[in-house]
Chain A
Amino acid sequence: MTLRTFVIRRLIVVVPTLFLISIAIFSILHLAPGDPAQAIAGRHGVSREVLELVRVEYGLDQPIYVQYFRWLGKVLQGDFGFSYLNRAPVMNLIRPRIPYTVELMLVAEAVSVVIAIILGVIAAVKHYSILDAVSSLGALVGYATPNFWVSLMAIIFFSSWLGWLPKGGVGTIGVTFPSPFHAFLDHLSHLVLPTSILVLGWTAYLFRMVRSSMLEVLGQDYIVTARAKGLKERVVIYKHALRNALLPVVTYEAYSMGFLLSGAAVIESIFSWPGLGQFMVEIAHKRDYPTLMGLTMIIAVMVLIANLCADIAYAIVDPRIKYE
């Protein structure tokens, strides 16, 4: 099977999965207690006539599968519904928030990956050394720390007590900056804390993976062969061992997108970072169901795409996979 066939096959599988997800999301949110019309119109006192209007408008008087297909049709055209609460199309509410979440996650991701790989390789190569023991313990501690608590501690410490870093937001409001560079620096100062907290958790998680994968690879026969050929130890580690060790790590990273998004959601809320995560928490509180449906759908699509990319990347990188 060639790479192209593999990709096409994989893409084909995505379609029914998306379908299933949409059904799941739709059904779950329609299990919500109470009258959907009421929920859509908002929790304020609404008259019976308005409720009827809403019902007809949203086709809530139709059987459920008709409603589903209407919704699905709209979604496929990019219309994720209308939020009565916020008085705007869902897509408009979501779109400006995407770059913020992406920024946060990308930066944190990049830093975590670099640190985790460097430390993980060193720890595995110097197995049983002090460095190994300390970093492993550190990783365990980082892994066990509740991220929201550390965020709060960090805010108290760095922001309230030391005043070094801002409490939240993406930039200081009501200030004009002398230059775009200054504005950028200001933005950076707001990025530091939330990113650091994310990095703490993710690095711990990744480090363990890299280290154990590396340890496993270093015990393989082909590593002995590589040494027996007369290769320098550095070449053995980076060319032969690391390449194999990173394979499972790469896929696992991509599959953990969902997990990592959740972490980001909490951090965003605490640091008032205007991303998707914070938005989700906000609308969950307000019980804005239509928006919630749309948002969950979008997030699900994002995760699926990430998984697809992971699968493809893995197939490219591991010669054994193509021949399934």
Chain B
Amino acid sequence: MEQRLMTSHSRAKSKEKNEELYEPSKATRLFIVWRKLKTSKMALAGFGIILLVSLLALLAPVIAPYDPNAIGRVRVPPSTMHWLGTDAMGRDMFSLILYGARISLYVGVAAVLLEILFGLAIGMTSGYFGGIVDEILMRLTDLIMTLPTLPLLLVTVILFEQRDVNVIVLVMGIFGWPFMARIVRSEFLALRETTFVEAARSMGATPWRIITRHILPNILSTIIVIGTMDIPWYIFWEATLTFLGFGDPSSPSWGVLLWRGYIHFRMEWWIITFPGLALFFTSLGFNLFGDGLRDALDVTTRGR
């Protein structure tokens, strides 16, 4: 009697263990992703930075000690009155940088959203219709992808009369879709051949339903990773364009701050160091997080 009890007990225990090997539910999958992210300290650090920057940006009106456009004593080095000093016109650097964060974040996210919009649309259209449509679209994609970014951006930005940050966002988003479109297209093509899509089709699902219910959710993780990894690039290009003097001179964008610092430079290192540091940290944060996200979601991105 005792023997048999012990046997069923040990068998029950291992049965539980074996259950773990079965296919986890969606909630479990999310949990696994979160756990993987947590173990990567880099990704966590990146996320922390992003959170910090976002908070600072959001709370800028509250936190900023001065109005960013208020003019005061010029070229003051970092001190108790002005933590990060003032620039050539006497504006407080700290406040400027805080407001600049808003611009950078806005640019990054808005451009990525545009990129996703266009990339998804074009990638899926190309994949879905195939044939000549696909050929033309892919040739176009290749073309734009290989053209040098800065010249392209420069040429288009100067077409607009206004020097507005939205112009830059628009231009970047318009030229940013090729990479996303390519990846979307290849994933789409791969997924189209899967058995579960075939099953859905044989059950009479309309193409729209197949796309939205079956294909899109699976492309989602790739899109998220690529988008996250592209945000720092858009921030960078906006900063580059404005640094080179093509931005709105009155905006607190970090690139503009650097441009102003560069033009009026005498010996005031703080005017250049801090906005640049801000840029650097924000970019670092997104890159760290994006890397970790890619590993956690197991996405393969050829290139970049």
Contact = CB atoms under 8 A, between A and B. Distances in A.
Interface of A: 17, 20-21, 24-25, 28-29, 31-33, 137, 140-141, 143-146, 148-150, 152-153, 156, 160, 248, 252, 255, 257-259, 261-262, 265-266, 269-270, 277, 280-281, 284-285, 287, 292, 295-296, 299-300, 303-304, 307
B147 interface: yes
Given A28-B155, A32-B159, A152-B276, 13 more contacts: A17-B139, A17-B143, A144-B232, A144-B286, A148-B243, A153-B272, A160-B267, A252-B303, A265-B151, A284-B155, A285-B246, A303-B146, A303-B147
A266 B147 contact: no
A31 B161 CA distance: 12
A31 B240 contact: no
B159 to A, nearest CB: 5
A269 B283 contact: no
A261 B143 contact: no
A258 B276 contact: no
A192 B143 CA distance: 33
B154 A284 contact: yes
Contacts of A257: 146, 148
B239 interface: yes
Contacts of A150: 276
B279 interface: yes
A262 B243 contact: no
Contacts, number: 118
A305 to B, nearest CB: 11
Interface in B257-273: 258, 261-262, 267, 269, 272-273
Contacts of B284: 140-141, 144
Contact of A146 (B149, B156, B262, B280): B280
Nearest to A310: B146
Contacts of A17: 139, 143
B236 interface: yes
Contacts of A258: 146-149
B291 interface: yes
A271 to B, nearest CB: 12
B131 to A, nearest CB: 18
B287 interface: yes
A254 B9 CA distance: 64
Contacts of B145: 255
Given A148-B258, A299-B151, A156 B276 contact: no
B296 interface: no
B236 to A, nearest CB: 6
Interface residues of B, number: 44
21 contacts: A33-B161, A140-B284, A140-B288, A144-B284, A146-B236, A146-B240, A146-B276, A149-B275, A149-B279, A150-B276, A152-B258, A152-B276, A153-B272, A153-B276, A156-B269, A248-B302, A257-B146, A262-B151, A265-B151, A269-B244, A300-B147
Nearest to B258: A149
B244 A281 contact: yes
B148 A266 contact: no
A255 B182 CA distance: 15
Contact of B156 (A28, A255, A303): A28
A31 B159 CA distance: 7
Contacts of B240: 146, 148, 266
B78 interface: no
A210 B279 CA distance: 27
B192 to A, nearest CB: 22
Contacts of B149: 258-259, 262
The listed residue with most A CB atoms (<10 A of its CB), out of B42, B147, B275, is B147
Contacts of A292: 155
The listed residue with most B CB atoms (<10 A of its CB), out of A148, A265, A295, is A148
Interface in B71-122: none
The listed residue with most B CB atoms (<10 A of its CB), out of A20, A284, A287, is A284
B245 interface: yes
Contact of A304 (B146, B151, B232, B283): B146
Contacts of A269: 244
Interface string B270-304: 00110110011001101110010000000000110
B150 interface: yes
Contact of B148 (A20, A25, A148, A261): A261
Contacts of A140: 42, 284, 287-288, 291
A149 B276 contact: yes
B133 interface: no
B266 to A, nearest CB: 10
A83 B139 CA distance: 32
Contacts of B273: 153
B155 A146 contact: no
B158 interface: yes
Contacts of A255: 145-146
Given A143-B287, A148-B240, A303-B148, A280 B154 contact: yes
Contact of A144 (B143, B148, B246, B287): B287
Nearest to A161: B269
Interface string B225-253: 00000001000100110011110000000
A155 to B, nearest CB: 9
Contacts of A265: 148, 150-151
B276 A307 contact: no
Given A144-B232, A153-B276, A266 B143 contact: no
A266 B244 contact: yes
B135 to A, nearest CB: 12
